[in-house]
Amino acid sequence: MNFSWHTRALLAMASGVTLAFSFPNFNLSLLAWIAPGMLLLASIGATPAQGFAYGYLQGTLFYPICLPWIDTVMRQYGNIDLWSAAGVLALMTVVLAFFTAVFACGIAVASKKNVALACALAPFLWVTAEFGRTHMPIIGFPWNLTGYAASGNLALVQLTTVTGIYGLSFLIVAYSSLLVYAIYAGRQRLWKITLSVTGALTFVAGAGVYLVPSARAGYVAHLVQTNFPQSEEYPANWIQLHASEMDQLERISVGAAASEPGPIIWPEVPAPFSFQDPAFGDRARRIARDARTDFLVGVVDWKRDSAGKWLASNTVLLLNPAGERVFTYDKIHLVPFGEYVPLRRWLTFAGRLTADISDFTPGTAASVGNFPGGRFGVFICYEATFPSEVRKFTRNGAELLVNVSNDGWFGRSAAPAQHLMMARVRAVESRRWLLRDTNNGFTVSVDPYGRIVARMDTDVRGELDAPYDFRTGLTPYALLGDWFAWTCLVVTVFLLGMALSRSGASKLVPQSARPKN
């Protein structure tokens, strides 16, 4: 097949659009199974430079379509103008699209050897590119990895207990590669294999749901949704101005624990909550004492460094029933352009942004705390998108996962649903219950198999009785980490080495079926 350059460009563009439509709020998840194939078709037979360009074109459509909320958040809460916000989104797109460009370039190189090698390479190279995007220095961004498009299926998502989310990405791209190879080879037998694979996947995705075990919960936590509106800045007397709302939240929290014993959980700090501020600290201690239970709450915590300078951290504290502070977790992975500005010195075009955002100090330890009955690990907001980092809590002894977030920054964009989608997979990867408490939604309880067993309406103030339990044992992913992604990297190097070797073209694809240069 010898596509013209504009046909290849259209295929690359279609790949970016359809892949973006696979995620919330479009939710057309089946499109993900063909989207990588379109980029494959665009890249096979192209020169490496052309392949790189087609991959970049795919990425420059994919990211702005599924991540437009970045621009909105920058303008609404970053106090910067339209062009500066667009510049930050454009910069992110340019950086992130590099990984799909490398993928398409690699496919173009392999296709010079033969189509079979290019199609065999595709799922390994795609996972390698996503792994690179996740662990990119300074601004690694694993949001909306391809595998998440299939994570809504209860049967398919169980694969992540072994491979992590990268296994689902591999499965999707491998299927897309099989379709492309069937198109190029044009053999009846290969089409029969493709149809058989399609049928098997359909059966597993459909019937397999009924084979996933159920999990019983022996405990209940009280997840409080504070539902405070976001603001660019807060006056010094904010707690006093909102005393009636704080009283309401106190009544909700204490009343819930009085009706059924269980820890109280508040979300990532949704307002100027600081334990060092007596107006909040005294109230927090009173809630724990009056409820006679543990109280896990998000705050801005202030500490002095060795030079006596005050440093702020995004923190979760645990108060025991006596109101004593017994556990602290400081957020380790901060949000670029939200909690710190990467490359601040060079981003002169975003002057107001870099001036308005003060850097938080990151934590250093995946600490584990204690509830009655077992141990828990808590991770904050953006950290839910990093599977290898959440896994550390399980490795450190966490028998329950807690995710607190303030998704109020996102409004009612696609971001909260995308965020929940990713957090839910963390429960499956570690085979742990997940309690997820947010400021304004989505507040849920997720069982160790990925079922949402309790949820609260969005944009309301209230409390969710969230069932949970403690589980021990380590899944292959929790034990071994990103072994599958590393394996894909090794295979990618090997297959690219084959592509670059001097030996002749393979006969796996008939000469007539090979694209003409």
Give per-residue pLDDT as tens, 17-72. 999 999 999 999 999 999 999 999 999 999 999 999 999 999 999 999 999 888 77
Residue 38 located in a structural domain: yes
Residue 473 located in a structural domain: no
Is 289's pLDDT higher than 60? Answer: yes
Active-site choice (268, 339, 383, 399)? 268
pLDDT of residue 79: 64
Q: What is the CATH number of the domain that holds 459?
A: 3.60.110.10
User: Nearest 5°: CA angle at 65, between 63 and 68?
Assistant: 85
Would you say 14 and 7 are in contact if contact means Cβ atoms under 8 Å apart?
no
Residue 36 located in a structural domain: yes
Residue 150 located in a structural domain: yes
Q: Peptide bond before 314: cis, by omega within 30 degrees of 0?
A: no
Q: Are residues 197 and 265 in the same domain?
A: no
Is 105's pLDDT higher than 60? Answer: yes
Question: Quick check: is 516 catalytic?
Answer: no
pLDDT of residue 76: 66
Q: Are residues 412 and 264 in the same domain?
A: yes
* Amino acid letter for position 465: D
* Residues 220-278: tens digit of each pLDDT: 999 999 999 877 678 888 999 999 999 999 999 999 999 999 999 999 998 889 999 99
Helix (H, G, I), strand (E, B) or coil at 342: coil
| Domain, as residue range, for 235 | 219-468
pLDDT of residue 29: 97
Q: Are residues 276 and 385 in the same domain?
A: yes
Residue 102 located in a structural domain: yes
Strands 325-330 and 219-225: unpaired
Q: Are residues 110 and 243 in the same domain?
A: no
pLDDT of residue 347: 60
Average pLDDT over residues 305-318: 90
Closest-CA residue to 21 (of 29, 10, 11): 29
* Amino acid letter for position 7: T
* Phi, psi of 467, rounded to the nearest 5 degrees: -70, 150
Instruction: Write the CA distances from 344 to 88, 96, 232, 332, 348, integer angstroms.
Output: 12, 19, 20, 19, 8
Instruction: Write the CA distances from 391 to 32, 154, 386, integer angstroms.
Output: 26, 20, 9
Mark residue 337 as left, alpha or beta (left: phi above 0; alpha: psi -120 to 50; beta: remaining). left
Average pLDDT over residues 334-346: 72
pTM of the model: 0.92
Instruction: Write the CA distances from 416 to 104, 209, 353, 423, integer angstroms.
Output: 30, 25, 23, 10
Beta-carbon contacts of 485 under 8 Å, excluding residues fewer than 6 positions away, are 127, 128, 130, 131, 164, 166
Number of domains present in the structure of the chain? 2
Q: Are residues 153 and 277 in the same domain?
A: no
Q: Say how far apart CA 70 and CA 78 lie, in whole Å.
A: 10
Is 318's pLDDT higher than 60? Answer: yes
Residue 145's CB is within 10 A of a number of other CB atoms, namely 24
Out of 112-121, 131-140, 350-359, 382-391, least confident range: 350-359
Is 512's pLDDT higher than 50? Answer: no
Q: Peptide bond before 21: cis, by omega within 30 degrees of 0?
A: no
Is 514's pLDDT higher than 60? Answer: no
Q: Say how far apart CA 508 and CA 517 lie, in whole Å.
A: 18
Q: Are residues 267 and 182 in the same domain?
A: no
Q: Say how far apart CA 160 and CA 391 lie, in whole Å.
A: 12
Q: Are residues 443 and 490 in the same domain?
A: no
Q: Are residues 415 and 498 in the same domain?
A: no
Alpha-helical segments (H) within 263-413: 278-291, 351-356, 387-395
Q: Are residues 98 and 187 in the same domain?
A: yes
* Phi, psi of 445, rounded to the nearest 5 degrees: -115, 130
Beta-carbon contacts of 247 under 8 Å, excluding residues fewer than 6 positions away, are none
- Helix, strand, coil % (nearest 5) of the chain? 50, 15, 35
Higher pLDDT pick, 469 / 83: 469
Active-site choice (112, 113, 331, 392)? 331
Closest-CA residue to 123 (of 435, 485, 505, 382): 485
The share of the chain scoring above pLDDT 90, in percent, equals 78
| HEC secondary structure over 15-26 | HHHHHHCCCCCC
Residue 474 located in a structural domain: no
pLDDT of residue 77: 63
* Residues 456-485: tens digit of each pLDDT: 999 999 999 999 999 999 999 999 999 999
Residue 358 located in a structural domain: yes
Alpha-helical segments (H) within 323-453: 351-356, 387-395, 415-430
Is 371's pLDDT higher than 50? Answer: yes
Q: Provide the pLDDT confidence category of residue 156 given band limits of 50, 70 and 90.
A: very high
Q: Are residues 280 and 166 in the same domain?
A: no
Query: DSSP characters for 89-127?
Result: HHHHHHHHHHHHHHHHHHHHHHHTT-HHHHHHHHHHHHH
Q: Say how far apart CA 15 and CA 34 lie, in whole Å.
A: 8
Mark residue 308 as left, alpha or beta (left: phi above 0; alpha: psi -120 to 50; beta: remaining). left
pLDDT of residue 325: 97
Active-site choice (66, 119, 381, 488)? 381
pLDDT of residue 45: 95
Question: Quick check: is 268 catalytic?
Answer: yes
Residue 251 located in a structural domain: yes
Q: Are residues 347 and 393 in the same domain?
A: yes
Question: Quick check: is 488 catalytic?
Answer: no
Q: Are residues 178 and 281 in the same domain?
A: no
Average pLDDT over residues 210-215: 95
Out of 38-42, 264-268, 374-378, 412-416, least confident range: 412-416
Helices (H) and strands (E) in the chain, counts: 17, 12
pLDDT of residue 19: 98
User: Nearest 5°: CA angle at 455, between 473 and 26?
Assistant: 100
